Structure 1
Amino acid sequence: MAEQITALKLKQPFGLDNIEATKIDDPGQPGAGEVRVRIKASSLNFHDFGVAAGFIPTEEGRIPLSDGAGVIEAVGEGVEDFSVGDNVVSTFFPYWLSGPAPIGDFRTTPGDGVDGYAREVVVCPAHFFTEQPQGFSHEQSATLTTAGLTAWRALVVDGNIKPGNTVLVLGSGGVSVFACQIAKSLGATVFATSSSDAKLEQYKKLGADYLINYKDDPEWGKTVRKLTHGRGVDHVIEVGGPGTLPQSINAVAIGGHIALIGVLTGNEGEIPTTRLMAKQARLQGLIVGSRDNQKDLVRALNVNGIKPVIDKTFKLDELADAFRYEEAGKHFGKICISF
């Protein structure tokens, strides 16, 4: 009889009460080009919550979680990038290795189109992983797969951020907090919004230069423009979608860049296209990034001193509680899962 490992699976009808701990067969030893990884940590994203809660369709029995960090226990023939004992972190799009995005859906994304990392051990092609940053814990590394890389791509890869640029981050989720940290490390001025004064104080500790409570100031786009003496900001990390995009267009500079990353306020809504055209701004949708982008991020983290902000860590068997904590929206930064 094959050895068994623990995994969590999503059961019909999908919902947080139907995340089931079970035993599955150990995947065994890696074949050619593969690695065996002992998973030590994950982190939660809104996408993971959507799958687990049943808002994003997936198959019965799906193993959730797109982020995974751990230790290589064995390498298959032909694997040259990794050795036994290496600390590694997963990639969101395992087959997008480099270059422009070749995929516009989640068919290959762990925890959605294929099984994810809510399990003790995986055997996968080596290119499903990159090295972890030096000195990072597994929990810290697990935050990079989705949130960290999304912020990096928005500002560095697609945004081509420069010292002296201005950046607006919306809310206090993982992507926005990472974006603040990355922007400050590259010499940018950061404007941060939140409905919580306590969270704005946390942003202040990260170096954010201007703090705006959007609950008290619903016309925050005009406020940003006023604070920039009418110019607007060079980059907007837009995670809200249709409910916030009109204000983001107000806030962006002529010729600026809006990275459309999330749809927390819904999937559809009216967009002031004439105003966007007049701004001559670039509105770019993006979903995470490539393996090469992640390797560049890891190299940057090895030298710039940024450490991910982790709000709270749960055990694997507390995954449903972790999702409920995420759903409540009280966190600042990332929520992690420790194995």
Structure 2
Amino acid sequence: MTDKIKTMKAWQLQGFGIENLKLITTEIPIPNKNQILVKVGAVSLNFRDKAIVEKIYLPDIMEFPFIPVSDLAGQIVGIGSDVTRFAINDRVTSHLYGNWIKGKKHTSTTALSGLGGPVDGGLAEYILLDEQAAIAAPATLTNAEAATLPIAALTAFFALTKHGQLEKGQTVLIQGTGGVSLFALQLAKALGAKVIITSSSDEKLEKAKALGADQVINYLKTPNWETEVLRITKGIGVDHIIEVIGGDNFERSVEAATIGGQIHVIGFLNGTTSNADLLKILFKAVRINGILVGNRDAFEEMNAIIDLHNIKPVIDTTYDFADAISAYKHLERGAFGKLVIKVS
């Protein structure tokens, strides 16, 4: 294939700022003995991608230029001589941290292996992946759907199951209706939990109900949403909280948690600091879990659940490859579910 086609189109980030995201022509890479060459079918955007461009997410480790976007799905069109996990034509997705195979702990250098910054990512027609950094795509999903899994779905799954040890019948509070939040809703329901979800939009809350949410709260209409959570749970509080807002919102999460409840810290949309009352955390024995996506073993386990329960990712909008900058701008406005860019 590479004998006939020597070059490919790719979006390259040449500096911080969306004005430095440029469409270029570059050589198609050639796999070494342990790599696979993937023809990218689609990618999906995460808050991480926006934060990298805006110099918010670990700017000190970024070395320009590089190809952004961590999450992709596609078909293998080339393999190295020592590859054993995959074959030509297999469909795969990426894994953000390809060197994190198992266990709840990652290493201090894990961030340096991050696809889409600092390592070249998937916003290109082709990408090289180490065979250990790829996952077989669920058979029930298209490339566009599978491309939404590597960060959003895995983060929700890893938080609820590997850190949280979610049990059937427990209650999960989910904040917002972005990618991680909706995957948390779908996965929690598949695993037998009760779900409360918050949003500022009644329209989005109605859509969340259609996906299985048991209770919904509009936090604009009910600013003290934690009080409403306690009312819904008859004063007990919730077992798990998917905390994606950060800032002062974290204090409300502590209030809404049950004794021994868990807060899974995933996002920081409203800031990275909090004035939460440490005594309340202490006396309620609240466990706070910082979630940095998850490992490959959990990814494969999650994909089996997605196939078994026929879970379909919620895609807000799909953009053409040439219109990638519009997708980034949409990310700034927010979305119900995921934003996808179709590559091939």
**Cα distance in 2, alignment partners of residues 106 and 175 from structure 1:** 19
1:17 CA drift (Å): 2.2
Stretches of structure 1 lacking an aligned partner (at least 5 in a row):
none
1:142 corresponds to which residue?
147
Q: What does residue 71 of structure 2 align with?
A: 67
Which amino acid in structure 1 is aligned with residue 127 of structure 2?
Answer: V
RMSD: 1.4
Partner Cα distance (1:268, 1:249) in 2: 14
* Count of matched residue positions in the alignment of Structure 1 and Structure 2: 336
Answer yes or no: is the 8 Å Cα contact 2:9–2:24 preserved in 1. Answer: yes
**Counterpart residue number, 2:193:** 188
> Contact (CA 8 Å) 1:94, 1:127: kept in 2 or not?
yes
| 1:98 counterpart = 2:102 | yes
Contact 1:185 1:304 in 2 (8 A): yes
Matching residue of 1:43? 44
- What residue in structure 1 maps to residue 172 of structure 2? 167
Structure 2: distance between partners of 1:151 and 1:123: 26
Task: Tell me which residue corresponds to 2:236.
Answer: 231
Gaps of 5+ in 2: none
Match of 1:6 in 2: 9
Q: Is the 8 A contact 1:17 1:320 kept in 2?
A: no
Instruction: Work out whether residues 247 and 268 of structure 2, in 8 Å CA contact, stay in contact via their aligned partners in 1.
Output: yes
3-state DSSP class of the match of 2:122? coil
Structure 1 counterpart SS, 2:129: strand
**What are the Cα deviations for residues 157-211 of structure 1, in whole angstroms up to 9, with x where unaligned?**
1111111110000011101100000111111110000001111011010010111
CA displacement, residues 19-76 of structure 1 (integer Å, 9 cap, x when unaligned): 1000111112x22222111111110100101112333322221211011110011222
Q: What's the counterpart of residue 333 of structure 1?
A: 337
* 2:27 equivalent in structure 1: 25
| 1:258 and 2:259 correspond | no
Amino acid at match of 1:96: W
1:68-147 to 2 correspondences below 5 Å:
68-104=72-108, 106-147=111-152
1:51 aligned counterpart, secondary structure: helix
Conserved 8 A contact 1:242-1:271: no
- Structure-1 separation of matches of 2:185 and 2:36: 34
Partner Cα distance (2:71, 2:222) in 1 = 35
Q: Distance between the aligned counterparts of 1:67 and 1:33, measured in 2?
A: 20
Q: Retained in 1: the 8 A contact 2:100–2:296?
A: yes
Contact 2:241 2:263 in 1 (8 A): yes
Moved over 6 A (4+): none
TM-score, normalization: structure 1?
0.96
SS at match of 2:71: coil
**Alpha-carbon contact 2:71-2:150 (below 8 Å) kept:** yes
CA deviations over 1:228-268 (Å, ceiling 9, x no partner): 01111111000111221111111111011110111111112
CA distance in 1, matches of 2:235, 2:169: 16
Distance 1:181 1:33 in 2: 35
CA distance in 2, matches of 1:95, 1:53: 26
Distance 2:212 2:161 in 1: 19
- Counting aligned pairs with the same residue, the percent is 37
